[in-house]
């Protein structure tokens, strides 16, 4: 079983937001290397297009790290699946009909909703939605490391 409760806030975000609970700061938290992660080789054209779009956005916000490759890949896969379902549903309609069951929601509606839930959850982890961005402050586009600044001020 995994850890219970909400995910812990990364140290650099705690330093930026403040530490009202006065809990100990982890000075030894590993810091991912900034840079361009490799594009997954299994991506199709739609997934690659979303990869290019989202990595460009993350780069511009100073939030692109090589260690986030799998999170970004999961986001792109879920978004491409969502988009494909939207196109299919536009062509076939939201309702399907069969002799045995009559009218019922098209099976793609559930797949689309599941994909949307996945990509929105991953977008939150990556800082790609407005509420996630309200908690992040970057003074320069990724040039400074807040944890290093904080540690150097303590010394």
Q: What is the pLDDT of residue 8?
A: 67
- What pLDDT is stored for residue 53 in this prediction? 96
| Residues shown for the chain | 155
pLDDT in tens, the chain (155 residues): 556 766 666 676 666 677 777 778 777 777 777 889 999 999 999 999 999 999 999 898 888 899 999 999 999 999 999 999 999 999 999 998 888 888 999 999 999 999 999 999 999 888 887 666 666 665 554 445 556 666 666 55
Find all residues with CB under 8 Å of 132, minimum gap 6, and list them.
123, 124, 125, 126
Q: Whole-prediction pTM value? A: 0.71
* Inter-helix orientation angle 69-92/45-61, to 10°: 130
Q: In Å, what is the CA distance from 60 to each residue of 20, 36, 104? A: 30, 12, 44
Ranges of each domain in the chain: 11-154
Q: What are phi and psi for residue 65, nearest 5 degrees?
A: -130, 145
pLDDT score for 41? 96
pLDDT of residue 78: 97
């Amino acid at each position: 079983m995994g850890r219970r409760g909400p995910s812990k806030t990364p140290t650099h975000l705690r330093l930026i937001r403040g530490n009202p609970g006065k809990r100990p700061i982890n000075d030894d938290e590993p810091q991912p290397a900034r840079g361009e992660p490799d594009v997954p080789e299994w991506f199709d054209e739609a997934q690659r297009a979303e990869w290019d779009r989202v990595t460009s956005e993350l780069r511009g916000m100073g939030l692109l790290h090589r260690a986030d490759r799998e999170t970004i890949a999961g986001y792109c896969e879920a978004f491409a699946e969502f988009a494909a379902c939207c196109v299919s549903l536009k062509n076939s309609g939201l309702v399907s009909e069969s002799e045995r069951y009559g009218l019922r929601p098209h099976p793609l509606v559930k797949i689309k909703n599941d994909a949307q839930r996945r990509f929105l959850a991953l977008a939150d982890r990556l800082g790609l939605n407005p509420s996630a961005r309200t908690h992040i402050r970057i003074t320069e586009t990724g040039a400074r490391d807040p944890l290093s600044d904080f540690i150097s001020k303590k010394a």
